[in-house]
Amino acid sequence: MVRTVPVQIMGILNATPDSFSDGGRYPDLEARLARGRELAGEGADLVDVGGESGVTHRPPVPEAEERARVVPLAGGLAAEGILVSVDTWKASVADAALAAGARIVNDVSGLRDPGMLAVCARHGAGLVITHTRAEPKVKAFPAYEDVVADVAGFLAERLERALAAGVPEDGIWLDPGLDMAKTPAQSAELLRRLPEVVALGRPVLLAVSRKDFVGAATGRRPRERGAGTLAAVGAAADGGAEIVRVHDVAATVDYLAVRGAIDGSRSLAPGEPLAEDLRREPLAPTGKN
């Protein structure tokens, strides 16, 4: 059954030289600020700023360097009225980014840093809790008896801890962690059985963009996985996800707009034709008077 609840879009902004997908494309603060504005202009509801790639063939980034990458960026975008989350598992980095204006922490480690909950509670910040059984920057494929049951149990326990620490209940999102210590087949199974995670009662965020499971299904490298990512966005929406985290915001906005027009969650004006200027591409100039 197709859902009709609107899906929000988290745009990915990597302030790193080694991201698996777009490392080095935005080499300095000005380029990153411009990209953040572009994501917001394309329709991102929030922009997720990250200063350390999750790739496992590089060592962890020192905390001071990660702060230098994300704090000015988060502060600059927030000052322009853009809702900013910070993608970090380190409490000191989260603390500095929240102080600069970020509103949400996207912790992909499953709360490995014991200080993270206190930081989020003190700032009244939102928190994304991600399932993973691997240490940060470590590639691992644990043996799950039932990967979905493991995800649900893990997230339920972390949710209880977050609430007990004083993190605002209405600011907690749960992320099943596609590809995080999971094979492509396990990530696909999570998408198929996503309602079991949604049943935990908190909004679900899914990071589906250009993931390994999309590459395994299509045989394509990260930047060629746009169409496959949109298929995963559709599955995420069908399963009950409320936020999708993506690189290609404009394409995701268009996909969700057409999907909404079809399922009835987005209305098109009855009886009105398409605007004339959208019906065809403009003719190329001929160079003649």
Among residues 95, 133, 96, the alpha carbon closest in space to that of 112 is found at 133
Mutual angle of helices 249-263 and 226-239, in 10-degree steps: 50
**Residue 197: which residues within 8 A CB-CB, separation 6 or more?**
148, 151, 152, 155, 174, 176, 190, 204
**H-helix or E-strand spanning residue 47:** strand 46-50
Per the annotation, the verdict on 245 as an active-site residue is yes
Q: Say if residues 236 and 205 touch (Cβ distance below 8 Å).
A: no
Phi and psi at 139, nearest 5°, equal -85, 125
Choosing from 90, 103, 245, 259, the catalytic residue is: 245
Distance of CA 24 to the CA centre of its chain: 19
Task: Please identify which of the residues 35, 133, 211, 259 carries the catalytic annotation.
Answer: 211
Which long-range contacts does 248-253 make (Cβ < 8 Å, 24+ apart)? 248/209, 249/9, 249/11, 249/39, 249/42, 249/43, 249/44, 250/42, 250/43, 251/226, 252/9, 252/43, 253/9, 253/42, 253/43
> Which tokens sit at 245?
């985290």
What would the two tokens of residue 259 be? Answer: 């999907």
CA–CA–CA angle 39, 41, 6 (5° rounding): 80
Q: Distance between CA atoms of 255 and 237, rounded to whole angstroms?
A: 11
State the catalytic residues.
211, 245
